[in-house]
Structure 1
Amino acid sequence: MYMVSDLLLGGDLRYHLSQQGKFAEDRAKLYLCEICLAVDYLHQMKIVHRDIKPENILLDEQGHAHLTDLNLATQLEHDELATSYSGTRPYMAPEIYATYLGMEDGYDSRVDWWALGVCFYEMLRGRTPFEFSSRTKPEEAYVTFREFQITYPAHWPTDLIQFLNTTLKFEKDKRIVGLDAIKRHAYTERIDFNSVYNRKPAPVFIPCKEGLNCDPMYELEERILVSTPIHRRRNTNHNNSSGRSSSEPHNAALAEVSK
């Protein structure tokens, strides 16, 4: 099967975060709004992405953000729940852990809005609000979500902190979800999302056009890994420091089966 997609040469946000540490608020806010539009479109198509993270947000040559990598995506009908332990640990919502632990029956598209909130926090601060490693057990992660208080720099504006607090609510029923709800929030109510959709706001950051916007050694390692037989890749994925779940599907077909 051949998949054709847009050529995006601006690099992913993980690479740019590694180079710059963190982003200015106006830069991160545009990325947030553009990915909100992408997530809203997927949800209209009844698709849950399940792996929103900086590595999966790519920039084009003009500096606009695009959401990619549907390897773990699943399609859910109305009132249907996903149940697999899928995603990348620092960006997985509490209900994914709760489902794995048998505390909930499943989870829905609200997990994508949680992951986007984590990404937005990371863009602004240079680290995720919750720190996990590949060795963190699901039980430990769930307790961290329930008891840990997110810290914010004192100079951050109140409406930004309130926005992140509602995006990263432990109780999913109290979490801000959906494009309409985001448009109504005080932090984003003045944004013209139609203008964002039409790519009218000029990005603050323009990727370099004369060099690579990636780490070539990392890309080479990824290509070698992909070409390795799957039974050998499993051990590598299990020990991956990125925290991507070792029990998650290894390809799109398995992702759909394990829904």
Structure 2
Amino acid sequence: MASCGPYQTIKRKHVTIPLSAGHVHITDFNIAAETRENGIASSLSGTKPYMAPEIFNTALGEADGYSYPVDWWALGVTIFELLKKRRPFVIHGDTGAQETLHVLMNTNVHFPSSASDNMNDLLRQLLLVDPKQRTQSAAEVKSHPAMAAVDFDSVQAKKIKPLFVPSVSTCSLTCGRITINYCSVDERYGMNNCNNA
């Protein structure tokens, strides 16, 4: 029997801030992987620039599958992108699996100089190529020194006043013919949500 596995689509575009609320939401769960009984997934799905190396290893027949560490990789790519306004790896939707894997394995990532040493250390932990060495859980992220000032219980209970609360005048976007009733983090960070994956 299969069960819900990795989310597989954590990326900047799916991090949203509802209007007048200011609390971050993750959206679009449509491609969460189904896992086998052993907790392993094997489908090739997601957005390539955010996909972990083990997904491509699986697609190329070099691994038997992957699990939740792929989401921690995608979180690392997303945080990096929010800090530096670009992704850590130059990969496009039409980049082949073998070439993508080569880029992921061989890129010397230059971490954001504007970020603290602790934040860059967290990014390094999230972007480790070996999924067994990579961050494995929310508890690990929460206990990392980069997160020391965050009161996660208060954040979850929405007791923390957001630093940015979008309004219709600042975040009413129209992508094609659809008006979006939330602000994406793209608007907050000056990125174009309508044209980027």
* Shared fold, TM over 0.5: yes
Q: TM-score, normalised by structure 1?
A: 0.63
The alignment's C-alpha RMSD in Å is: 2.1
User: Deviation of residue 46 (structure 1)?
Assistant: 4.7
Structure with higher helix content: 1
Q: Alignment partner for residue 132 of structure 2, among 154, 168, 173?
A: 173
Answer yes or no: is 1:123 the counterpart of 2:82. yes
Partners of 1:68 and 1:163 in 2: CA distance: 23
User: How much does 1:135 deviate?
Assistant: 2.5
Residue pairs, 1:99-118, within 5 angstroms: 99-118=58-77
8 A contact 1:134–1:242 mirrored in 2: no
Indicate which of 101, 119, 128 corresponds to 1:160: 119
Gaps of 5+ in 1: 1-44, 221-240, 244-259
Structure 1 residues 242, 138: closer, same or farther in 2, change over 3 A? Answer: farther
Identity in percent:
31
Determine whether 1:49 maps to 2:4.
Answer: no
Give the residue type in structure 2 aligned to 1:90: P
Q: Does structure 2 retain, via aligned residues, the 8 Å contact 1:46–1:77?
A: no
Deviation at 1:181, TM superposition (A): 0.8
Q: Within 2, Cα distance between the matches of 1:149 and 1:215? A: 37
Gapped runs of 5+ residues in structure 2?
A: 180-194
Matched residue, 2:40: 81
Aligned pairs for 1:1-259 (under 5 A) are 46-61=4-19, 62-76=21-35, 79-210=38-169, 213-217=172-176, 219=178
Note the C-alpha offset of 1:79. Answer: 2.3
**1:133·1:242 contact (CA, 8 Å) conserved in 2?**
no
Where 2:25 maps in the other structure, the secondary structure is: strand
Instruction: Tell me how far 1:77 sits from its aligned partner.
Output: 5.7
Quick one: distance in 2 between partners of 1:86 and 1:117? 18
Q: How many residue pairs get matched?
A: 179
C-alpha separation between the residues in 2 aligned to 1:209 and 1:202? Answer: 19
Q: Structure 1 residue 58: deviation in Å?
A: 1.8
| Alignment partners' CA distance in 1, 2:176 and 2:70 | 32
Cα distance between partner residues in 2 of 1:189 and 1:162: 13
Is contact 1:182–1:189 with CA below 8 Å preserved after alignment? no
**Residues 108 and 102 (structure 1), Cα distance of their counterparts in 2 relative to 1, 3 Å cut:** same
Amino acid at match of 1:49: Y
Letter in 2 for 1:51: T
Aligned residues of 2:17 and 2:23 also touching (Cα < 8 A): yes
Partners of 1:81 and 1:113 in 2: CA distance: 15
How far 1:109 sits from its partner (Å)? 1.2
Q: Are 2:112 and 2:120, in contact at CA under 8 Å, matched by a contact in 1?
A: no
Query: TM-score if structure 2 supplies the norm length?
Result: 0.82
